[in-house]
């Protein structure tokens, strides 16, 4: 049996390339984000300003901003997202707390109102219930009336992590998917 040296060389080179790519992807798993077919994204390192996510993401921490991620991926409850808030040069970083189809309502308590999502009191990452003041209640109760207590398609309830409130849906209402610029993840150190 005669083995063609060119054929052996080609198969060896091909195997080396496959092994090299596999090792590269193991070391750099985020590389594929940039080249996912039909879903172009850009990834940037961003420093968090402001304290609305304190306890979850601290001011000064670096996050990986994956712009365009939701063009091809579903927005999920508890995702940390980047929101295009009109008038701000930089996007706001918030947590998705309500998604399309969720039932939402309010419960009167001493000092304000709790938000109920699917019958449960909405809490932050520290298991503290959000407490709406009159302004926050007035804003969100409009959506409860207009949509019969169901978050409509393409709309999301996004919140900070401060139980007492932040610049979030309690100030500007439910947000449209088109204003969610991308996903944020804590950068690996």
> Token pair for residue 103?
């039932």
What is the pLDDT at residue 163? 87
Q: Tokens 């304290």 map to which residue?
A: 51
Cβ neighbour number for residue 45 with a 10 Å cutoff: 9
DSSP string, 110-138: TTEEEEEETTEE-B-TTSPBP-B-HHHHH
Class at the top of the CATH hierarchy for domain 33-186: mainly beta
d(CA 99, CA 95): 11
pLDDT of 151: 97
What's the confidence (pLDDT) of residue 36?
A: 47
What's the confidence (pLDDT) of residue 186?
84
CA 157/CA 141 separation, integer angstroms: 12
0.85 surpassed by pTM: no
Residues forming beta bridges with residue 155, ordered by sequence position: 176
Query: Exposure of 120 by Cβ count < 10 A (0-12 exposed, 13-18 middle, 19+ buried)?
Result: exposed
Q: What is the pLDDT along the chain (189 residues), one digit of tens a residue?
A: 556 777 667 767 777 767 666 666 566 555 544 444 567 889 999 999 888 899 899 999 999 999 999 999 999 999 999 999 887 788 999 999 999 999 999 999 999 999 999 999 999 999 999 999 999 999 999 999 999 999 999 999 999 999 887 889 999 999 999 999 999 998 765
Domain-by-domain residue ranges, the chain?
33-186
Rounded to whole angstroms, the Cα distance separating 131 from 43 reads 34
The whole-angstrom distance between residue 28's C-alpha and the CA centroid of its chain comes to: 21
């Amino acid at each position: 049996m005669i083995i063609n040296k060119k054929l052996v060389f080609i198969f060896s080179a091909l195997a080396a390339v496959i092994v090299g790519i596999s090792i590269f992807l193991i070391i750099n798993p985020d590389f594929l984000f940039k080249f996912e077919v039909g879903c172009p994204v850009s990834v940037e390192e961003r420093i968090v300003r402001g304290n609305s996510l304190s306890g979850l993401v601290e001011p000064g921490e670096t996050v990986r901003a994956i712009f365009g991620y939701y063009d091809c991926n579903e927005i999920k409850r508890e995702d940390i997202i980047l929101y295009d808030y009109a008038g701000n040069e930089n996007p706001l970083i918030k947590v998705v707390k309500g998604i399309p189809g969720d039932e939402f309502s309010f419960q009167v308590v001493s000092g304000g109102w709790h938000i109920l999502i699917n019958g449960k009191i909405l809490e932050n990452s520290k298991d503290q219930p959000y407490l709406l003041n009159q302004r926050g209640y007035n804003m969100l109760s409009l959506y409860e009336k207009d949509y019969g207590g169901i978050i409509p398609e393409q709309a999301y309830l996004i919140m900070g992590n401060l139980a007492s409130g932040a610049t979030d849906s309690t100030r500007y209402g439910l947000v449209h998917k088109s204003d969610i610029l991308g996903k944020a993840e804590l950068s690996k150190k």
